[in-house]
Structure 1
């Protein structure tokens, strides 16, 4: 059976691990960014699972567990994921705009060539 102490320590470790992945996420290397997103989702799932196990064990107000601490981490993780999704959407829109612009530019170059023939 998992002990309160072990779960509380794991909550602290998950918080530290989250911070590590956030640093990688901010690095903006595509592969690391996707890896960070996946790991942050995993951390959220473990953190949430530990939280519910601790509630069942009757832990109310110990370090690395208080409701405020839990809410703060859930908020940080959610905000990070929302930021990531917004940036991906923005990048996709930017790529689409660039493709449209390039198509228009290519069309302008092709028309004069056809007219010259």
Structure 2
């Protein structure tokens, strides 16, 4: 499920990011990805959307990480390219996990 927080706010789908259903969606175990909708209209970036999810909606880094992996799995790519991207992220995971465990970002 694609979620575009800035666009949701701009279109009135939510009246504040603090009342956005994203935390509930994640709590229900939905495979949610963050997106920008149309960055030229919404004047946002994917980085901005992740920061808003963390700072305005209280999404912890471990769930941000999970949404990134959901996005890789759901990317509109030919299967071969998707698998290559998954391999890149798996390698990143191998490198980042020890750091995240030490810093507590997987909790």
Q: What is the TM-score of this pair, normalised by structure 1?
A: 0.31
More helix by share: 1
Rg: which structure is higher?
1
